[in-house]
Chain A
Amino acid sequence: DGGITQSPKYLFRKEGQNVTLSCEQNLNHDAMYWYRQDPGQGLRLIYYSQIVNDFQKGDIAEGYSVSREKKESFPLTVTSAQKNPTAFYLCASSGRRVSTDTQYFGPGTRLTVL
């Protein structure tokens, strides 16, 4: 079954800790994305990557970091510098760099800072 997986589904973090959210896809897509979703709001782009070993900041990259060492994987680290990290995080992928026609989402990770 082709698709995007995210883990864990729920994540709790103490203030001052870094946490890493996993995203894996087996769709053979070149581009991958991380979005943040807050209640009642649309999706906001954190980081995106069009190709392995390359990534760009989105609209709200401060306090986050990513890596793209493999085509299938695009982990997101939420650092202690992110002031308000509690949110629902969505990973997505698309077929041909940024100008592709469609985008598919993973099931999401809900991060709560205690």
Chain B
Amino acid sequence: GQQLNQSPQSMFIQEGEDVSMNCTSSSIFNTWLWYKQDPGEGPVLLIALYKAGELTSNGRLTAQFGITRKDSFLNISASIPSDVGIYFCAGLNYGQNFVFGPGTRLSVLP
């Protein structure tokens, strides 16, 4: 099945730094979702985006639905240790199944 591309694959940052990651596809999507997964747990929905160009925030997290509808971006401001985990993006088109990226693994150094 189709997969999305996520970059970076992994990143190590200092506590307090801002984080940026993105998700790209060769196809357009009508919906973009961002999830965070802790080790041994199920993914938790962070932000849902439904409109090209849309910018949505959830606390220190901000995500954007790319204008081309082929990409989406997630930013985390002032990172803290509990931000550690794997961040997944997912795309959806009407009448089709969700498509997931391989994830970006975030490590926060104290």
Residues of A within 8 A of B (CB): 4, 6, 33, 40-45, 48, 58-59, 88, 90, 98-99, 101-108, 110
- Asked if residues B95 and A102 are in contact (CB atoms below 8 Å), the reply is no
Q: What string of 1s and 0s marks CB contacts (under 8 Å) between B32-74 and chain A?
A: 0101000011111100101000000000000000000000000
Q: What string of 1s and 0s marks CB contacts (under 8 Å) between B68-110 and chain A?
A: 0000000000000000000010101011111011110000000
- If A101-B31, A108-B42 touch, whether A59 touches B1 (CB-CB below 8 Å) is yes
Tell me, rounded to whole Å, the shortest Cβ–Cβ distance linking A43 to chain B.
4
- Asked if residues B48 and A102 are in contact (CB atoms below 8 Å), the reply is yes
Report chain B residues within 8 Å CB of A45: 1, 97-98
Report chain B residues within 8 Å CB of A101: 31, 48, 50, 92
Residues of B within 8 A of A (CB): 1, 3-4, 31, 33, 35, 40-45, 48, 50, 88, 90, 92, 94-98, 100-103
Tell me, rounded to whole Å, the shortest Cβ–Cβ distance linking B63 to chain A.
13
Q: Is the interface of B mostly helix, strand, loop or mixed?
A: loop
- Asked if residues B31 and A48 are in contact (CB atoms below 8 Å), the reply is no
- If A41-B102, A43-B88, A99-B95 touch, whether A104 touches B45 (CB-CB below 8 Å) is yes
Tell me, rounded to whole Å, the shortest Cβ–Cβ distance linking B90 to chain A.
7
Tell me, rounded to whole Å, the shortest Cβ–Cβ distance linking A111 to chain B.
13
Chain A residue nearest to B6 in the complex (CB): A42
CA gap between A78 and B100 in the complex, in Å: 23
- Given contacts A42-B88, A101-B92, A102-B45, 12 further A-B pairs with CB under 8 A are A42-B4, A42-B102, A42-B103, A45-B1, A45-B97, A48-B97, A98-B96, A98-B97, A99-B92, A101-B48, A105-B45, A108-B40
Report chain A residues within 8 Å CB of B90: 103
Chain B residue nearest to A59 in the complex (CB): B1
Q: List 8 A–B pairs whose Cβ atoms lie within 8 Å, in order of A's numbering.
A: A43-B88, A44-B1, A45-B97, A101-B92, A102-B33, A104-B45, A106-B42, A108-B42
- Asked if residues B88 and A90 are in contact (CB atoms below 8 Å), the reply is no
Tell me, rounded to whole Å, the shortest Cβ–Cβ distance linking A69 to chain B.
22
Name the contact of B94 in the complex, choosing from A58, A99, A107, A108 (C-beta under 8 A). Answer: A99
